[in-house]
Amino acid sequence: MEAERKAARLPERDSNPFAQSTDFGTLPGMQELKLQRSAAEHIGLANPFFRVHEARAGATTQIGGKSFINFSSYDYLGLNGHPDVQAATCEAVVRYGTSSSASRLVAGERPIHRELERELAEHYGQEDAVVFVSGHGTNVTVIGALLGPKDLVIHDSLAHNSIVLGATLSGAARRSFPHNDHRALDRILASCRAQYERVLVIVEGLYSMDGDSPDLAAIVEIKARHGAWLMVDEAHGLGVLGATGLGSFESCGVEPRDVDIWMGTMSKTLSGCGGYIAGCQTLIEYLKCMSGGFIYSVGLSPPLAATSLACLRLLHREPERVRRLQRNSALFWTQAKARKLDVGLSCGSAVVPVVLGSSLAAVTLSQLMFDRGINVQPIIHPAVPERNARLRFFLSAEHSPEQIMTAVQALSELRNQAGKGPSGLALTT
């Protein structure tokens, strides 16, 4: 009877004038998603996304009971599962439990939060730091807290979604400059800096789609000359760039204090989850009291804070891991280039794309590699323009030279075979 009464109160779907507007299938992008899946099913391609990994995903992983060489993990230094990291995480679980249980503003702090923030600040030569529960959310909430309608955000044209979204939600004016073109940045600032109260320039230390880096020294000089703040997103740079993996300031010979805002994430080299900001004491105090993503969100889980702190200490203590990663990255990059694979803009630092020219080609080659026991993900439209669809390889300190050579050789062979196949896919570059 209860079900009948509820049904009686709801209009028939066919007679509801708002039926289409309440159908989630009409959301923008759903039709494109359906077309992509339909095309893949038509030619027998499996969905390459959301595969279930049944063990730790490092240089190798296990999917469907089979072992794969893995190039789809951010674990650049192989610290996920390191005995010291596991011990620190377990100790924090025993001492603090699994959750902060509320925002740090309300529920108070844990010593492990402050330890992590202090050592992150020291790493970047800054006065203080603050950690957030989401890397994406860090950019969104920090940019939103710092800028308003009288201000301007200028970012690289290939900036991460979180940077673009944060700039948009801040209400500030937003402009982009061509990728890694610091001269264009200089021209934009020269033409319009006087029109705005505050200006924030945002670049990434290592671009996660293309694997290249900006001329940070030139950008520091430009922002100082025009009276702007500079924010560097080091999500993929920490543990990768520089002789000892300190990041983009080390690789570019920049004094880290000359950058106003250092942002990073703890899900890559630091094998945890969340994001952080390092900067002057005033900035950090402001963010702790004024950024919604900190005030209204639960504090970072203490075990995750312990995880990332242990990884940060290992980064400093074991620079040979960085050297192994850099050797592996250079090996993959040079071998791919030798086989005339299009590595795009990559400088051979942990992230190496192989550009294939279409989403269908990228998904097809990903499946063929998977069939060979190699796990590498396609990056397709709309994440990148259709002509720039690619396979994206993440290198690790744990990869062996043999694994790298196996992958590059298979990629070269399969690209050539698929390009000659009956499907007519344009897999040659």
Tell me, what's the pLDDT at 5? 56
Mean pLDDT of 317-332: 98
Stated pTM of the model: 0.91
Fold type of domain 83-317: Aspartate Aminotransferase; domain 2 (3.40.640)
pLDDT confidence tier of residue 108, bands split at 50, 70 and 90: confident
Give the range among 68-82, 137-151, 384-398, 413-427 with minimum mean pLDDT: 413-427
* pLDDT of residue 231 exceeding 80: yes
* pLDDT of residue 429 exceeding 50: no
The CA distance from 62 to 57, in Å, is 7
Mean pLDDT of 171-179: 98
* pLDDT of residue 193 exceeding 60: yes
Look at 360 and 15; give whichever has higher pLDDT. Answer: 360
The CA distance from 266 to 308, in Å, is 6
Mean pLDDT of 351-379: 94
Tell me, what's the pLDDT at 29? 82
* pLDDT of residue 30 exceeding 50: yes
Tell me, what's the pLDDT at 12? 60
| Mean pLDDT across the chain | 92
167 within 8 A of 152, measured Cβ to Cβ: no
Tell me, what's the pLDDT at 345? 94
* pLDDT of residue 131 exceeding 60: yes
Tell me, what's the pLDDT at 37? 76
pLDDT confidence tier of residue 420, bands split at 50, 70 and 90: very low
Domain spans of the chain, in order of start: 30-70+319-420, 83-317
* pLDDT of residue 199 exceeding 90: yes
148 within 8 A of 171, measured Cβ to Cβ: yes
Tell me, what's the pLDDT at 40? 67
In this structure, how many other beta carbons lie within 10 angstroms of the beta carbon of residue 91? 14
Look at 391 and 4; give whichever has higher pLDDT. Answer: 391
* pLDDT of residue 15 exceeding 80: no
The CA distance from 238 to 206, in Å, is 9
109 within 8 A of 300, measured Cβ to Cβ: no
Instruction: For domain 30-70+319-420, give the CATH number.
Output: 3.90.1150.10
